């Protein structure tokens, strides 16, 4: 397995085609509401793992200063080209112990704390905690284990309606659930062949409390079914697939 820096620099040129766009897909536009709730023109914000800066059009106008951090220089270069004058960018491996970061009022982190080496997730959560001022808020988007299971169940339902029994569904439909039980229990599900940490709601409560945060809310960022199932039928409606949107206070 490549390290994260090589992996993300390699993806950078085709990032917009390959990587799921949370902001565009956020079906009920919940993210902008949370940004507004915590915004302030005298407040500073950090986007942990900002990628090519998709959060900036939403955040830059709402805060005095935004710092975007990412491991990939290729993505940071694209982020810079967005041209926001109150956004600064810095390359950093956010899984490193004891990172020295400026203190911010607000932290945002969207689909980054999902490393298959689970220790790295804890390390990164600690770095987010350390970088927040007391009373500050962190907004974290995380893959949902429950959503992955539910989407697979709905796929079985779709086949059933077409007269195909669960046993007869092509095996590759469920390739993202690898056979290793220990991996499954720990929420390791494959997205585009990359093992990706997924979270249950209860686990979120445990790990963020252990990191020192108060969990203020665990909300859903819901997406259309076509993000999970190719050509979903008309009758497939809510509940929709989702990522967790976690609101935390220091
Ligand atoms: C799925 S993308 C999400 C990007 C952005 N937050 C968004 O929602 O559009 C994951 C991002 O995490 C960054 N990343 C991965 N490992 C990292 C690490 N160890 N330190 C800092 N950034 C990392 C990648 O370069 C990539 O930009």
Summarised one tens digit per residue, pLDDT across range 21-55 is 999 999 999 999 999 999 999 999 999 999 999 99
Task: Give the domain CATH number at 112.
Answer: 3.40.50.150
CB 8 less than 6 A from any atom of ligand 1: yes
* pLDDT tens profile 122-138: 999 999 999 999 999 99
* pLDDT tens profile 159-174: 999 999 999 999 888 8
The encoded tokens of residue 104 equal 């911010």
Distance 52 CA to ligand 1 centre (A): 9
Looking at the chain, the whole-number percentage of residues with pLDDT higher than 90 is 91
Task: For residue 48, tell me if it sits in a domain.
Answer: yes
* β-strand partners of 137: 106, 249
Q: What is the pTM for the complete model shown?
A: 0.97
Distance 161 CA to ligand 1 centre (A): 39
Distance 75 CA to ligand 1 centre (A): 9
Of residues 190, 179, 175, the one with CA closest to residue 145: 190
Q: Span 98-107, mean pLDDT?
A: 95
Task: For residue 81, tell me if it sits in a domain.
Answer: yes
Report which ligand 1 atom has the smallest distance to the Cα of 96. 19
Q: Span 135-153, mean pLDDT?
A: 97
Task: For residue 234, tell me if it sits in a domain.
Answer: yes
Q: How far apart are CA 105 and CA 63, in angstroms?
A: 10
Task: For residue 88, tell me if it sits in a domain.
Answer: yes
Distance 69 CA to ligand 1 centre (A): 9
Q: Span 198-215, mean pLDDT?
A: 98
Q: How far apart are CA 107 and CA 189, in angstroms?
A: 26
Q: How far apart are CA 68 and CA 107, in angstroms?
A: 10
Q: How many domains does the chain have?
A: 1
Of residues 91, 121, 78, the one with CA closest to residue 211: 121
Task: For residue 73, tell me if it sits in a domain.
Answer: yes
């Amino acid at each position: 397995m490549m390290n994260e820096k090589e992996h993300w620099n390699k993806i950078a040129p085709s990032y917009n085609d390959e990587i799921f766009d949370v902001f565009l897909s956020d079906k009920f536009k919940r993210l902008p509401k949370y940004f507004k709730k915590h915004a302030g023109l005298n407040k500073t914000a950090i986007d942990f793992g900002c990628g090519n800066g998709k959060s900036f059009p939403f955040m830059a106008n709402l805060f005095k200063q935004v710092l975007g951090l990412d491991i990939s220089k290729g993505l940071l270069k694209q982020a810079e080209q967005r041209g926001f004058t109150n956004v600064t960018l810095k390359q950093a491996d956010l899984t490193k112990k004891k990172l020295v970061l400026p203190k911010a009022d607000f932290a945002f982190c969207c689909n980054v704390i999902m490393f298959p080496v689970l220790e790295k997730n804890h390390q990164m959560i600690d770095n987010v905690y350390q970088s927040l001022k007391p009373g500050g808020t962190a907004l974290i988007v995380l893959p949902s284990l429950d959503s992955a299971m539910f989407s697979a169940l709905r796929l079985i339902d779709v086949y059933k309606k077409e007269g195909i029994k669960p046993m007869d569904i092509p095996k590759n439909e469920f390739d993202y659930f690898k056979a290793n039980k220990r991996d499954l229990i720990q929420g390791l599900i494959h997205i585009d062949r990359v093992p990706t940490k997924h979270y249950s709601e209860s686990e979120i409560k445990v790990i963020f409390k252990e990191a020192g945060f108060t969990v203020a809310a665990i909300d859903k960022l819901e997406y259309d079914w076509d993000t999970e199932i190719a050509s979903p039928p008309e009758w497939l409606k809510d509940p929709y697939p989702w990522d967790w949107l976690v609101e935390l206070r220091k």
